Structure 1
Amino acid sequence: MRHLSLFLASGLAALASQSHAQQAIPDTIVTATRIPTPAERVPAAITVITRQDIEERGYQSLAEALTAVPGINLVGQGGLGGQTSAFTRGTNSSHTLVLLDGVPINDASTPAGAFNFGQDLLGNLDRIEVVRGPAASLYGSAALGGAINLVTRQAPQGGPGGKVFAPFGEVAGGSNSTIRGNLGATGRVEAFDYLVSGQSLSTRGSNALAPRLQTTNGERDGFRGQSTMARLGWTPVEGSRLEGIVQWRQNNFGLDGSNNAFRQADDPNYSGEDRRWFGQLRGETRLLDGAWTTGLRGFTTEDRRRYVNRPNPGASGIADDLYRGSRTGLDWGNTVRLPGFGAFADGALAFGVTHALEESRSLSGSPASRTRVFAQQHVTAGYASLQYRAWERLDLTAGLRQDSTTGFTDATTWQLGAVLALPEVASRLRISAGTAFRAPSLYERFGTNASTLGNPALKAERSTGWEIGADTDVALFGRPRAATASWTFFQSRITNLINSVRAPLPGFVFTSVNVDRADIHGAELGLTLRPAPWLETTANWTITEAEDAITDRRLLRRPEHVVSITARVVPTPRLVIAPTVLFTGRSSDFLITNTGDFGSRGAVRGGTVVNLGATYKATEVVSLFLEGRNLGNSRWEPTSGYVTPGRSLLVGTRFAL
């Protein structure tokens, strides 16, 4: 009876063990398999950005933190608040799924469900796990290119007796009248633990438009953002836990639009507001002497975006657009440790069921042609993931998922992977293959106005992909891991891509149809050098060939080459210097001419950005830091017409008691 009451008390939370494992064992990855697994045994290309990385490199936003990740190309339209898209391994911007503590947070009201990486600050995060490659068999729709899990900070878990209180915070200021602050505390009282934190950032920003444009007047696009988070947990006995999380953030920022001649131009009256509420209640308990962990989670997330533009002498654009997207659901998740047999050991099975209700309530566009989306859809899925280790060196993984979405054919996805350890040559070889899909968005299915007609009969976009890669440690200078070389080759084919075409109706009416296909292949090459205890440097080179399978033309905004070089230099035990060099090669885009006109398709030149972070540990609990961005003042345009924010410098202090 006692075990039954504990199971019921564990109430609303699935897979709570995921974030706990990530906190307790930094080298354990959950996002890639749903089962806590050592990183070297995961059959996927993964990158983990820790809290230490965020602070030492001076990452301020989610977009900044992802710029050096292999296989991901961030394309922004200005600085903080501007639309920033991620193209993972050459897939579309809507093909990267973003999770917050395991819950999908892609906005259901966006036209294709794409995530805006220019909005989220990092004060509440503990780590970021990036999994490249198809991940739909684990998380469902949208993970054709990969999945990114944002893991929030967590307090020490409760235990028998004792009290703990640990405040933390930072304050910084610098260029463009930027002021940033973060304050929080974690604590534990008996079996209860808690965390509260808040962050605020205000900046005048910089001009998002390229200085070459004749239509720019130097108007800055400012940004003000706030976020808060509260977390409360209860661990009545070892192996059983109940936890609730609430998070809120709101950003206000400036935008640019078109002037009276329909040219890209500065617009001082164009502004945006982006707000998100997120909450979940989750619990877990262990059964069968700890061999079976089961849990239930309830979650809800709501995004509210509003863009307002009033006419002025230089720009005639008028807008009052409101987008509201929400996702509410339940997860039941389980992890069962399986017995070994013969040469097979370390077996584990993860399985569960999830259900979510997605809604969009949006009204946008000009007064003469308002786009309305008032629609919802239910998504129900069941999944299972199995893994075993054979002969103490071969890790095998298999996953299967079935998704059912209101109004169109169900989607079945699978994934197979293997990792072979070769200690004789200090290497590991991995290979994986899988399928993925993206369900049509509510806008694509039901959005209507005078010139747009939704298509409820749309099919899901689908992909099949594979990858093979290896990591090798090299001994030099008397150091067993003086260097690590890595390589990954990947390939995917995407069908049923959704595009807008002229509808067979009178007038200029467009609708969405499944007409496009894409072929993508490429390589991720990496080299890490550790010639001395005080120096570590990593170079990553991503090569991507992403083409339209019908026309053989390169897909837009997918550069062929992206190179990142990072280093961590520790000249003294108290000082850490972390420079970053980012080079992005040329890509294809629709060009904005010097007069601000929207031109034809062409090549956008590549560019290089240099950033620097430095941290000095003044005392055991207080550190001083410096963050330098775009130190070379590059005028590179990630998107034609929009320039990289100019040189800036921030100085500050942080403490953790």
Structure 2
Amino acid sequence: DDLGERDGSRFFTITGNGELTLTDGLTIRGLARYRRAKSEFDDAALDREGRGGRDRYFLWRIAPRLTALDGRYQGDLEFGQVDNQRSEWNHPDTNDSFGGADTEASGLRTFAAWRNRLEVRPSDAVKATISAGLEWQKDKVNAFDGYSDALSRSEEQTAFYGLAQVTIVDRVDLNGSLRHDNPESFDAVTTWNAGGVLHLPEVGGRAYVSYGTSFKAPTLSERFTKSAWNVGNPDLVPEHGKSFEAGADVGTEVGAQGWVGLNVTYFDTRITDLIEYDYAALANRNVGKAAIDGFELGVQAKIGRIADLRVNYSRTNAFNDATGDQLLRRPKHSWSASLTLNPIERLSLSADWYRRGQRMDVVYDDSSAWGPGGGYVGNGLVTAYDLVSFSARYSVTDSVELFANMRNAFDQTYEEPDSYRGAPRSWQIGTRARF
């Protein structure tokens, strides 16, 4: 039944950061962020009064910084944690007289890093920046609910990286990077990236190209969660990718204060050992290869500092290279546009539009053999949707700002993913202060 019950959410966030100067060239920076949220939601195709969840998130980070050699060297140490706790409830109500089990999950990430950056200038025509560092992190996950076995796992990962950027006569930028990851549960892997930018001031633009490799390890949940709908697969291996990108920007002045620009980018990514959920086996599998390519177009128009208009279009072809099936939840066509107005110096007004095109998804019917609730149909094409948002910012002083945001301003009904309704109209007002 449609109970006419409107789901909503409430959240509270506070963020603080600061910097303490100990000596000339030695500082300590700190960041802390706390967020608490509570929300109500429904089942697939069923209005529910008894379902909801809570989320608590806490991040802290301490980062000493050493600056030397007249600012040409910068070294950072970083320590911190991210603590996230979630819970959901499923109480009996009009549309479900039985309800279901409550769930709880917590995740803790502890991290540390040592990062270094050195600027060198071997000649007047050449300048370079060299970066290198070490990273370590440990993830711990605990989860319990009435539908799956309890999960308690942890694992560590270490990595080191190097990066070099070279600028030649302010015309050519060259960059290259190397990263070596050593995850606890998988073989060590080395990835790299190389690229270049040619600046073209004659046409107000640039041309750029890059190529690189990547890898993505399967999550603890994909490997070990066991339930009526999932069989953990500890034999999953990481995905590996190769990506190529090339593009160009051009722009020209129009009148005394106007400017118009155009950018175009082509991208091509190949993924091996693609991880996908197999509904027949009720498990995540390394099913083969994926091919993702396409292009992006963008137009920008400005009138001094008064108005800024941006329009972007993206065409994406994403397929399982072994079967030819379209990858799920990747629309072929996406559009976005934003308009920012500054009628006076301290006031900024913005309007944003986003269109997510048709795409393949896992589809559920409005009912099943057990009544309303959304029976699984299979993979199918789902409709496009549009979202419009507005925002305003006003600088009271140089350190205090008032803001207001309205997201999904026209209360568009959409599902992302299918059968899970997206957020309705929401608004936010607040203030930001910098000291």
Name 1:429's counterpart in structure 2.
Answer: 207
Alignment partners' CA distance in 2, 1:353 and 1:495: 27
Alignment of 1:92-171 (within 5 A): none
Whether 1:529 aligns to 2:306 is no
Partner of 1:284 in structure 2? 65
Give the 5 Å matches for 1:153-232: 215-232=1-18
Q: 1:590 to 1:501 in 2, by over 3 A?
A: closer
* Paired-residue identity, %: 29
Cα distance in 1 between the residues matched to 2:324 and 2:359: 15
Tell me how far apart the structure 1 counterparts of residues 340 and 43 of structure 2 sit (CA, whole Å): 41
Q: 2-side partners of 1:405 and 1:319: how far apart?
A: 34
User: Partner of 2:102: helix, strand, or coil?
Assistant: strand
CA separation of 1:411 and 1:510: change in aligned 2, threshold 3 A: same
Asked whether the equivalents of residues 140 and 155 of structure 2 are also in contact (C-alpha less than 8 Å), the reply is: yes
CA distance in 1, matches of 2:10, 2:388: 25
Output the CA distance in 1 between the equivalents of 2:30 and 2:381. 49
Native 8 Å contact 2:251 2:260 kept in 1: yes
- Give 1:216 shift: 3.3
Q: Is the 8 A contact 1:408 1:458 kept in 2?
A: no
Helix, strand or coil: the match of 1:458? coil
Alignment of 1:3-82 (within 5 A): none
Alpha-carbon deviations, 1:330-379, whole Å to 9, x = none? 21111112232585x2211110111111111112342xxx3222111110
Q: State the partner residue of 2:370.
A: none
TM-score by length of 2: 0.88
Which structure 2 residues correspond to residues 112-511 of structure 1 after superposition, within 5 A? 215-257=1-43, 264-315=45-96, 316-341=98-123, 343=125, 345-366=126-147, 370-449=148-227, 452-479=230-257, 482-501=259-278, 510-511=282-283
Letter in 1 for 2:82: T
CA contact (8 A) 1:496 1:514 kept: yes
Which structure has the higher relative contact order (CA within 8 Å, separation 6+)?
1
Deviations 1:559-579 (A, max 9, x none): 111111211234455654322
What is the rounded CA distance, in whole Å, between the counterparts of 2:60 and 2:400 in structure 1?
32
Counterparts in 2 of 1:317 and 1:497: CA distance versus 1, 3 Å: farther
Find the residue that maps to 2:329 and give its secondary structure: coil
Query: Residues 407 and 456 of structure 1 are in contact (CA less than 8 Å); yes or no, is this contact kept in structure 2?
Result: no
Q: Contact conserved, 2:102 with 2:145, CA < 8 A, in 1?
A: yes
Aligned to 1:518: 290
Per-residue CA deviation, residues 417-473 of structure 1 (Å, 9 max, x unaligned), is: 111111122211111111111112112233335775433332111111011111111
Instruction: Choose between structure 1 and 2: higher strand proportion.
Output: 2
Q: What CA deviation, in whole Å up to 9, does each residue of 1:283-302 have, x standing for no partner?
A: 01124454322221111111
Q: Which has the higher helix share?
A: 1
Q: C-alpha offsets along residues 113-170 of structure 1, whole Å, 9 cap, x if unaligned?
A: xxxxxxxxxxxxxxxxxxxxxxxxxxxxxxxxxxxxxxxxxxxxxxxxxxxxxxxxxx
Partners in 2 of 1:383 and 1:250 — Cα distance? 35
Tell me the equivalent position of 1:114. Answer: none
TM-score normalised to structure 1 length:
0.60
Aligned to 1:560: 332
Q: Distance in 2 between matches of 1:286 and 1:243?
A: 13
1:456–1:592 CA distance, 2 compared to 1 (3 A): closer
Letter in 2 for 1:227: T
Distance across 2 between alignment mates of 1:434 and 1:579: 35
Separation (CA, whole Å) in 2 of partners of 1:329 and 1:240: 22
Distance 2:23 2:175 in 1: 32
The answer (yes or no) to whether the contact 1:499–1:516 under 8 Å persists in 2 is no
- The count of residues paired between Structure 1 and Structure 2 equals 427
Q: Counterpart in 2 of 1:189?
A: none
Shift of 1:537: 0.9
Pairwise CA RMSD of aligned residues? 2.8
- Aligned-partner Cα distance in 1 for 2:14–2:407: 26
User: In structure 2, what is the Cα distance between the partners aligned to 1:330 and 1:400?
Assistant: 19
Q: How far 1:611 sits from its partner (Å)?
A: 2.7
Alpha-carbon distance change, 216 to 549 in structure 1, aligned in 2, over 3 angstroms: farther
Q: What CA distance in whole angstroms lies between the structure 2 residues aligned with 1:655 and 1:331? A: 29
Deviations 1:233-280 (A, max 9, x none): 32123321112322222211112226xxxxx31221111111112112
Q: Is the CA contact (8 Å cut-off) linking 2:29 and 2:65 kept in structure 1?
A: no
Quote the Cα distance in structure 2 between the aligned partners of 1:583 and 1:428: 28
- CA 1:410–1:615: 2 relative to 1, 3 Å: closer
Q: How far 1:590 sits from its partner (Å)?
A: 2.7
Q: Which residue of 1 aligns with 2:322?
A: 550
Secondary structure of 2:122's partner? coil
Taking structure 1 as reference, are residues 276 and 424 closer, same or farther at Cα in structure 2, changes over 3 Å only? same
The secondary structure found in structure 1 opposite 2:417 is coil
Question: Is this contact kept in 2: 1:276–1:302, CA < 8 A?
Answer: yes
Change (3 A) 1:445 1:623: closer
Deviation at 1:604, TM superposition (A): 1.6
What is the CA-CA distance between 1:492 and the residue it aligns to? 0.3
Please tell me whether the aligned partners of residues 372 and 449 of structure 1 are also in contact (alpha carbons under 8 angstroms): no
CA shift at 1:320, angstroms?
1.6
Is contact 2:193-2:211 (8 Å) kept? yes
| Counterpart contact for 1:440–1:458, Cα < 8 Å | yes
Choose 384-393 or 443-452, whichever is displaced more: 443-452
* SS of equivalent to 1:445: helix
Query: In 2, Cα distance between the equivalents of 1:434 and 1:631?
Result: 40
- How do residues 623-638 of structure 1 correspond to structure 2 at under 5 angstroms? 627-638=405-416
Supply the distance in 2 between the matched residues of 1:630 and 1:360 (Cα, whole angstroms).
33
Aligned twin of 1:141:
none
Unaligned runs of 5+ residues in structure 2 are 368-372
Shift in CA distance, 550/631, structure 1 to aligned 2, threshold 3 Å: same
**Partner deviation per Cα, 1:618-647 (whole Å, 9 max, x = no partner):** 898987766444444433444333445555
Distance 2:415 2:284 in 1: 30
Alpha-carbon distance in 1 for matches of 2:360, 2:23: 57
Question: Hey, what's the Cα distance between the residues in 2 that align with 1:393 and 1:286?
Answer: 28
